[in-house]
Amino acid sequence: MNEPIVEYKNRFEAGNHFQDRIRNIPLKILRVVVNASGLVFEGECLYPGTYDIPVYADRVPAAMALVEPWPEKVAEAKRLFEADDAKATATKSKGLYLNWVHAYRMLCGGEEPKPFDSCVIVGEGPPPKSDDEHKAAATTQAIVESILRTHAAVPAADKSKK
């Protein structure tokens, strides 16, 4: 099992023990076409649509593994299920398939459909930051958020006193 790779964008993770491993890994911009709701990919919650996502180069294979290998089977499975469902409704009997994913599994030897319709590298991300840049960014962000929270909390407290 590989060490998990955790992205930088979270201030809490700046400087954690995963950082050394990814410090010099470049970013790639992936254009993904998503067909599933609620897919958490590299820290983003994705819904059906097209996204450009910066991904560390060594996570690109993980993204590619989520691409649907047989799009024509998806269409076929949906067609099969709809026909079967219509027939079952008309005859008030139990259909062959629970849903189109069930039909897809029957067609593809138990495999489940994948959440990406496509995934291509459309460009290079920004170059890796130096250690100092990371530390400076993390420090600034932590201070700013702390100040924001403190100041956001003060007026509410004052109001309650009056």
Footprint of another protein on this chain (CB under 8 A)?
Answer: 1-2, 4-7, 9-10, 12-18, 35-45, 47-48, 62, 66, 78, 97-102, 105, 112-115, 135, 138-139, 142, 145-146, 149
Confirm if 84 and 93 have CB atoms less than 8 A apart: no
Q: How far is the CB of 124 from another protein (least distance, A)?
A: 22
Q: Which is nearer to another protein, 21 or 31 (CB)?
A: 21
**Closest distance of CB 119 from another protein, Å:** 13
Bridge partner residues of 123 (DSSP) = 29
Report d(CA 95, CA 89) in Å as an integer.
8
Q: Least Å distance between CB 94 and another protein?
A: 10
141 contact partners, CB below 8 Å, separation of at least 6: 11, 14
Residue 30: phi and psi, rounded to 5, are -105, 135
For another protein, the closer of residues 31 and 114 by Cβ is: 114
Given the complex with another protein, which of 155 and 162 has the nearer CB atom?
Answer: 155
CA distance 114 to 105: 11
Shorter beta-carbon distance to another protein: residue 38 or 162? 38
> In the complex with another protein, which residue's Cβ is closer, 43 or 123?
43
Minimum distance, C-beta of residue 39 to another protein, in the bound complex (Å): 4
CB of 30 to another protein, least distance (A): 14
Report in angstroms the alpha-carbon separations of 130 from 58, 133, 148.
19, 5, 27
The amino acid occupying position 13 is E
